[in-house]
Structure 1
C-alpha cells in the first residue's frame, strides 16, 4: 500500500506468547497515556470506583512530558501492559543505539527521562495479550494491530485489511490503541474496539477529556474529565523539547475525521 511503513514491528526476537489471563468479570482498558499525569490520575480514580478487577494498558505509556512518573504510578497497580511503538522506541534508543531522528527532538531527550528500571519495565512488556472477559470471551489486546505496533486501525479500516491483520488470531474481539480514537464496531467476523487515549485523545468533545473503556459483560466506552490547565502547567515544567506540540494536541485535538483520513492513507505510522 502506498504510504505503508514496510517494517512490521511485532514481537521482540525470541519473544514468547504470554499465556491467556483470566477469567475476569470486569476489565478496565486504557491506552496512550503519553506521560499525562493529571489525565491518568483522573481516569484511575474512576476505574477504582468501577469495580474493575484488572487494568489493561494498550501501549504508549511513555513518550510524553512525565514518563518516569507515569511508569511509577502504574507499576504497583493490578495492571498488565502491552508494548506500544513509543515504549519500543525508548528501549531501542537506550539499548540498541538507535540514532535520534533529526526532525524528532524528543529522540535525544527521552532516554534521559527513564531510569534503568523504567527501561527494563518497558522492555518486559509483551507485544500482545489475551484476557478472558466474562460475556466477551477471549479478548486480544495489542497496540497497533496483532501484526505490528505501528498499524493504524480506525473506524474506517476495511473488512479486507482487518482480515489480513487478524490472520492466525483465534480471538474475535480485538482491542487496539495507537490511533488515539475511541470506537467499538463490527468489522467482518470481528469486533474492533479502541478505548481511546487517556493523555492525547483525538475527539470532538471538550478539551481536557480522557477516554477509556470497561469490558464485561459487554463494552462500555467511557470519558473522564481532567484538569487541562494543570496538565499544561506540568508539561511545561520539565524541559520537554516537544512540549508545545503536546500542549496543542491537548488543547486543540485533531478531529476523528482528520485522523481517520490520515491514518487510512498511511496504514502504518511510527
Structure 2
C-alpha cells in the first residue's frame, strides 16, 4: 500500500487539495496528516472540515503545535508561531476545536512511527533539522524494535536521514519525484515537508509517498495557485508577512 504523508497544511486549502489530487493520481491508498492543520493561512475552518472528512474515511491525523495553539491560544503571543492563534480559534466551531484537541501526538503504521515533531519528546515540538536531532528522534522511536521508519513534519523541509555503517546518521537531500530505496535492514527518519507553507524558496507544495511493499519513499512537489492563497491571507486581514511567505516560498 502507498501511504501519502502530508504535514503542515497551515490552513491552506488550495495547497491541500492540490496534494490530495496528486497523491490520488500516484495511487495512494491511505493518507496520514502529520499535524499543523491550521496556523498562518486564511482557511482554518475549511481545512479542518476537509481533514475531518478524510479522518472519517480512515486517514490518520496527528496534532501539531499550531493545532494546540488554536485550541488554547496563549494570552500573549510570544512568537510568530503563536501570533495568529486567537484569530484561528475564533473561526473554528466547537466541533472543529474538539477534533483538534483530541488528536494524538503519534501514531504507528506497521513498521513506521508518525509524529509531528520529534519522537523523543513529541509534546515539546523539537525541530528535526540536523543529524543530532534526527538521531535523538530515531533512537527514541526505535526503543520499539519493530520501528524501521520515522516520518515527521514541523521543519517545512524535505530531508531523509539514515543510519549508515558507522554510529552516526547520514543526511540525504532528495530529488522530487525520484523514488528512494529505503530497505528495512536500515533505520530511516524523514521530514516530509510542508503542504501549505514551503520555506526553501520554492513555492510548490510538499508531501511524500511511502510505498511499503516496495520499500520506497518518494518526495513530491506540487504546483498550486499560491498567489491566490496569498491573496486569501490578505483578504482575511492576517499579517501581510504570511502572504509574502507564500509568494516567495520562504
TM-score of the two chains, using structure 1 as the length reference: 0.74
1:65 is matched with 42
- Residues paired across the two proteins, number: 217
Taking the aligned partners of 1:239 and 1:160, their CA distance within structure 2 comes to 41
User: Do the aligned residues in 2 keep the contact of 1:155 with 1:183 (CA within 8 Å)?
Assistant: no
Change (3 A) 1:162 1:75: closer
Taking the aligned partners of 1:102 and 1:174, their CA distance within structure 2 comes to 30
Alpha carbon RMSD of aligned pairs, Å?
Answer: 2.0
1:126 is matched with 104
Change (3 A) 1:251 1:212: same
Q: Which runs of 5+ in 2 are unaligned?
A: 164-168, 170-185
1:154 Cα shift? 2.0
> What pairs up with 1:25-174 in 2 under 5 angstroms?
25-63=1-39, 64-77=41-54, 78=57, 79-93=59-73, 98-101=74-77, 104-132=82-110, 138-146=111-119, 147-149=121-123, 150-157=125-132, 161-162=136-137, 165-166=140-141, 168-170=143-145, 171-174=147-150
Taking the aligned partners of 2:62 and 2:98, their CA distance within structure 1 comes to 14
TM-score of the two chains, using structure 2 as the length reference: 0.79
Which of these residues, 152, 155, 158, is aligned with residue 182 of structure 1? 158
1:237 Cα shift? 1.9
Q: Does 1:200 align with 2:175?
A: no
User: Do the aligned residues in 1 keep the contact of 2:128 with 2:134 (CA within 8 Å)?
Assistant: no
Change (3 A) 1:227 1:56: same
Taking the aligned partners of 1:59 and 1:39, their CA distance within structure 2 comes to 15
Taking the aligned partners of 2:14 and 2:65, their CA distance within structure 1 comes to 23
CA deviation map 1:130-162 (0-9, x unaligned): 012xxxxx1000001112241110254356534
Taking the aligned partners of 1:108 and 1:204, their CA distance within structure 2 comes to 28
Change (3 A) 1:67 1:177: same
Taking the aligned partners of 2:144 and 2:66, their CA distance within structure 1 comes to 24
Taking the aligned partners of 1:200 and 1:251, their CA distance within structure 2 comes to 10
SS in structure 1 at match of 2:132? coil
Q: Which runs of 5+ in 1 are unaligned?
A: 1-24, 133-137, 255-270
User: Do the aligned residues in 2 keep the contact of 1:35 with 1:199 (CA within 8 Å)?
Assistant: yes
Change (3 A) 1:112 1:85: same
